[in-house]
Chain A
Amino acid sequence: MATIAELENIASQVRRDIVRMVNGCSSGHPGGSLGCTDLMTALYFEVLDSKPENFTMEGKGEDMFFLSNGHISPVWYSVLSRRGFFPVSSLSTFRSLGSPLQGHPTPKYKLPGIRVASGSLGQGLSVGIGAALAKKMNGCGHLIYTLHGDGELQEGQIWEGAMFAGGNKLDNLISIIDYNNAQIDGTVDNVLGLGNLKDKFLAFGWEVLEMQGNDMKDCLRGLNEAKGLTKKGKPVVILMHTLMGFGVDFMQGLNTWHGAAPNDEQRDNALSQLKETLGDY
């Protein structure tokens, strides 16, 4: 078991990777990536029962993770590589011609860790539900995890999925919402408010947890609590409170960093705030 300090060290390196990847190709989505770094680190290094060296598409006998908000691919690629799914050196190819690290994730180039394409929002919950059903049919006791943006919840398909999972008591599913109240056109509250999100999920028949997504200790608490609530007749959702761009002071809390790349000066400023712990790629 990793200590909180060890996980925080990994997260710091992941944040460096994100900044460098996005700067390196002058495009990509740093905001949500930085906000979800602590969660993704906790998930992959501590919670998820996965097989980095022996990745299989079908995921039998292991937990499976689906990134529904595919634009935060930088954090996923970094965490997957740091966890050993593929060489860390691949991160330098992000978004470049011929790279399996496409702008948005895809299984097309057989990048270990990726099972389905995402980018067009709202589909990942349904994919996860399908995988969760398959696990039940196969008698596999492992869990399915999905991650979504809060703005993504404006997509109608999410609620089709939420209704299905609740109505069918799909209790091997943990969905996490990156509740940073930021999307491209402004705050989620201003663009199209989500109302009482907790009550919405409760009404759809889900267990609802909240956690502080930029606090490693609380990430572990939340994820472990969620695991403890599975197999009890309900899907579980975690409303994860984060700040877009967390860890880089000039990005933090600003929706303008959703899909903007830092220039070289901004990169250097950002890197000066993030300790290099595992060696840059």
Chain B
Amino acid sequence: MKKYTILGNKDTRSGFGDGLLEAGKRNSEVVALCADLTESVKMTAFKEAFPERFVQVGIAEANMVSMAAGMALSGKVAFYSSFAAFATGRVYDQIRQSVAYSNTNVKICGSHSGITLGEDGATHQILEDIGLMRMIPNIIVINPCDYNQTKQATIAIAEHKGPVYLRFGRPKVPVFISEDTPFEIGKALMINEGKDVTIIATGHLVWEAIVAGEILAEQGIDAEIINIHTIKPLDTEAILRSVEKTGCVVSCEEHQYNGGLNDSIAQLLARKNPKPMEYIGIDDMFGESGKPEKLMEKFGLKAENIVEAVKTVIKRK
């Protein structure tokens, strides 16, 4: 198992904030829109550096999304951000018509996604957003795994012309992807080459997959671990190549079973190369209040759960 060192603990939303500032420095057409959550979604640095390119919309997300579309079609690279629940589900129709169908250069930036939002509870813990966004044509869906990858992804999507959903989170989590690791939209990242099982993970669960890989290695199981940061378009080649080698898959995400990365992979395998597969995710339930770590345990999103799923899936080979 390849050794990964924790380079620090940082929130992925700060990776977004720092990436946005950098994107703003590189391109004067980059604008940012916010609905009364400037510091929560880490837009403060951008706002201070480029006050004339920052728009405070107030608590009116629908207006914000369509405004972003209007700015984008006028030539701006329009980033808007809110909590992922309000950046996606609340404004689904605005995204569908003004952003996706109109193919405007809008970056939908959802912070505080998933169960690890923690104490605020289920109203804010969106676990459906990947599914919602990936179902609409034209939208690229990206869920980076740590601070460095989120920063790089933010810079990358500013350079891509077209709608993108970028999903990130609230808690401080391990930073383990080096700053110089290349980020390419749509390209899977090989975390560890192995032969017994393919573990595919996105977002916060990539680190859990690495910890699981270490536990499995001690038990003599050689796991291949792939980080899918771009859920749409999916790097089907990388996934099929790995699964052909290992013969089974465990797919991990901080999302409902329905509609997310796991379903994307199941859909791919069902059509191209059916193999035993297990899901790590949340099975048709709402979240609840609690510390992120405790919630990860309660909802079965920890390394230990991945280890169990790997053992189950290997038996099914």
Contacts and interface: CB of A to CB of B under 8 A. Distances in A.
A130 B70 contact: yes
Interface stretch (B3-11, B93-101, B252-260): B93-101
B60, B62, B72, B74: which has the most chain A beta carbons within 10 Å? B74
A58 B62 CA distance: 22
B74 A131 contact: yes
Classify the interface of chain B: helix, strand, loop or mixed: helix
Interface in A193-212: none
Given A160-B60, A164-B57, A164-B60, A130 B103 contact: no
Nearest to B33: A130
A101 to B, nearest CB: 16
Nearest to B78: A130
A31 interface: no
Interface stretch (A86-94, A113-121, A215-223): A113-121
A4 interface: no
A116 B71 contact: no
A51 to B, nearest CB: 15
Contacts of A131: 70-71, 73-74
B259 to A, nearest CB: 22
B63, B64, B73, B93: which has the most chain A beta carbons within 10 Å? B63
Interface residues of B, number: 32
Contact of A134 (B62, B71, B93, B94): B71
Given A126-B62, A157-B66, A133 B98 contact: no
B73 A133 contact: no
Contacts of B67: 126-127, 129-130, 133, 161, 164
A160 B67 CA distance: 11
A66 B98 CA distance: 12
A213 B69 CA distance: 29
Interface in B58-97: 58, 60, 62-76, 78, 93-94, 96-97
A106 B103 CA distance: 10
B29 to A, nearest CB: 9
Nearest to B72: A130
A123 B104 contact: no
A49 to B, nearest CB: 16
A60 B73 CA distance: 11
Given A126-B66, A160-B63, A134 B101 contact: no
Contacts of B172: none
Contact of B74 (A123, A130, A156, A164): A130
B140 interface: no
Given A130-B71, A134-B70, A117 B63 contact: no
Contact of A127 (B31, B57, B69): B69
Nearest to A124: B66
A108 B58 contact: no
Nearest to B91: A157
Contacts of B31: 134, 137
A164 B66 CA distance: 12
Nearest to B65: A126
B73 A58 contact: yes
A129 B66 CA distance: 9
A247 interface: no
B197 to A, nearest CB: 43
Given A137-B53, A157-B63, A160-B60, A117 B98 contact: yes
A63 to B, nearest CB: 12
Nearest to A167: B58
B68 A130 contact: yes
Nearest to B63: A160
Nearest to B104: A116
A118 B97 contact: yes
A137 B28 CA distance: 11
B218 interface: no
A119 B69 CA distance: 15
Given A116-B69, A119-B97, A126-B70, A134 B63 contact: no
A132 B55 CA distance: 13
B52 interface: yes
Contacts of B78: 130
Contacts of B73: 57-58, 107, 115-116, 127, 130-131
B102 interface: yes
A149 interface: no
Interface of A: 57-60, 64, 66, 106-108, 115-120, 122-135, 137-138, 156-157, 160-161, 163-164, 167
27 contacts: A57-B73, A58-B74, A107-B73, A115-B73, A116-B98, A116-B102, A117-B102, A123-B66, A126-B63, A126-B70, A127-B98, A130-B66, A130-B67, A131-B73, A131-B74, A132-B70, A133-B70, A134-B76, A137-B53, A138-B75, A157-B62, A157-B63, A160-B58, A160-B62, A161-B66, A161-B67, A164-B63
